[in-house]
Structure 1
Amino acid sequence: MELRDIEIFLTLAEELHFGRTAERLHITPSRVSHVIKKQERRIGAPLFERTSRTVRLTGLGEQLRDDLLPAHQGIQQAVDRATAEARTGTGIGTLRAGYTTPWCADLLLRAAEVFRGRHAGWTARIREIQFNDMYGSLLRDELDLQLIEFPVYEPGTVAGPVLFRERRALMVPADHPLARRESVSLEDLAEVPLITVDYEFPKPVADLHFPTRTPMGRLIPRGPSYTFWPEVPALVAAGLGASIVAARAAEYHDRPGIAFIPFRDGPTLDYGVLLHADKRAPLVPAFVGLLHELADANGGG
């Protein structure tokens, strides 16, 4: 079985649709059908069950997919490694990645360890990004990618895949009445000053993290502002306001004087890969794929 035929089979096994498979691989649906029929003749049994409405893998097809997928991924990684070596001349390099939260750092550091094992001669350098310069390092070509909160509306950048989604929580002073509740709603934001930042975000981002009104139109009072996020727990513990955070922040930032109360409504906080729109370092696709692999294996982060 030729490598291209394996790629067609594995793509159809993922998409379960001849048209989408053809579009993704830039070939015709008839080419997809011809290759699958040739594979089935060679093996001697159907790999897919086809009707006018659905395409499903047979038991044999599932077995073949599971057997072929690791080998195909290994071939892709070998090609990525050879491509990187051809571009760099030495096959040695450093991939640079940034993060804004400790749970993003955890994922990046796990990926860096696996990355070094898979790509001989390469390392991954991980560094923290400050909120007052969220995108500068990437745009100045000091980073190859960032793992960051979405959405992002920054010229010169392009969003990659979302890796995980986090429930939101409200970080409040421990003696505030909201701290005694099992959950809060977006309407409860009218009951406590909201700590903000001292620089501007695009409106969709500001509305997500620092809304000015509740869904019913009630004014949300403003608390003090901050430059660096580590200031926020101290401001909350001092009773000066509350902050919308990922629920997971309770695992990393808990301290005396604050409480984390989950929201029962509203959107999630989504974390994904941010890339430079025009520059793409060798092995970035391989590293992004590795992040996806590890995030999926850990249930989304």
Structure 2
Amino acid sequence: MGGVEIRELECFLVLADELHFGRAGARLYVSQGRVSQLLAALEQRIGARLVERTSRRVRLTPLGERFRAELSPAYAELAAVVDRAKEAARGVEGRLRIGFQGTADARLMEAITTFRKRHPACVTEIAEVPFADPFGAVRQGEVDAAIVLLPVAEPDLVLGPLFSRQQQTVAVSVRHPFAGRERLAAAELGGMPLIAAGPPAPAYWREAHAPSALPAPAVRTLQEGLTLVAADQGAMLLCRPTAAYHGREDVVFVPVDGVPDSVLGMVWHRDGETERVRAFARAVAAATVPAAAA
């Protein structure tokens, strides 16, 4: 980099944002004259003007515009590398917010307990993720990571360890013709309207959990779905642990053979990967008991 100083690059980026030497100096906690010195040093290294300054305005030259466009993402990534190194050096501490979809049962708590034992300086918080919005809480920064039902095909999210592979059951009303059956075959689902989550859950995700061409209501929450099942408005696919957890007198859960197992995965945002998130992913992967049910 020809001996370029990080401070010079930082100064240029702040000045490019502010287009005012005084305001740039205030943000950098240096004098206006120091901003001019840092800019001059950078321009000397590059061999061309990056900023034009008159008595009335400050603006970037064409080269300055191009330099800013190329420098900004590289500088952000460099800052992120430094932050990650500092975080790793301090160890895992602070706060980790974990979202879950469906039920935070004993298996999810097993993974969290493992994480807490390994990293006692890190406080964990647990929050339910809406059934019809499995990825929203991660995207909006409400949680650092979430345990959600697969499939996950979101380019801005990282899919971490998979766990809690469970057989599917179909929830039907006690008055449904299938309520007395011990088991069902996958082909028999074709004649049943299957209740699914509504938007904002992606279409591919909704279809994976309600593989039926027959029209059925869309719901926002799991409890809404089970209430509609009890009212004979449709059936609903759920994994076996969720069926056991949400047992009710007016709904019967019948195992289904021949459909893909229900699988959970840990997800986090690509821009939000921290040492805390990576440490929790390791705890989930290392758990001897599957860590959740949804």
Shorter-chain TM band: 0.5 to 0.7
The CA deviation at 1:109 is: 2.5
Matching residue's letter, 2:219: Y
Q: TM-score, normalized by length of structure 2?
A: 0.64
Q: Percent identity?
A: 30
Q: How does 1:1-301 map to 2 (within 5 A)?
A: 84=87, 86=89, 92-102=93-103, 104-199=104-199, 201-213=201-213, 221-294=214-287, 297-298=288-289
Larger Rg, first or second structure (1 or 2):
2
Matching residue's letter, 1:136: G
SS in 2 for 1:223: coil
Distance in 1 between residues matched to 2:205 and 2:133, nearest whole Å = 15
The CA deviation at 1:201 is: 4.3
SS in 1 for 2:263: strand
Distance in 1 between residues matched to 2:125 and 2:290, nearest whole Å = 25
* Structure 1: segments with no counterpart, 5+ residues: 1-81, 214-220
The CA deviation at 1:299 is: 5.8
SS in 2 for 1:109: helix
Distance in 2 between residues matched to 1:124 and 1:300, nearest whole Å = 15
May I ask how many residue pairs the two structures share in their alignment?
208
The CA deviation at 1:209 is: 0.9
Partner of 1:13 in structure 2? Answer: none
Q: TM-score, normalized by length of structure 1?
A: 0.63
Distance in 2 between residues matched to 1:109 and 1:200, nearest whole Å = 27
Matching residue's letter, 1:165: R
The CA deviation at 1:87 is: 5.2
Distance in 1 between residues matched to 2:112 and 2:140, nearest whole Å = 22
Distance in 2 between residues matched to 1:110 and 1:196, nearest whole Å = 29
Q: Is the 8 A contact 2:101 2:147 kept in 1?
A: yes
SS in 1 for 2:278: helix
The CA deviation at 1:200 is: 5.6
Distance in 2 between residues matched to 1:207 and 1:224, nearest whole Å = 13
SS in 2 for 1:126: strand
Distance in 2 between residues matched to 1:266 and 1:280, nearest whole Å = 33
SS in 2 for 1:239: coil
- Structure with the bigger RCO (C-alpha within 8 Å, sep 6+) is 2
Please provide the CA RMSD for this pair: 2.4
Matching residue's letter, 1:93: G
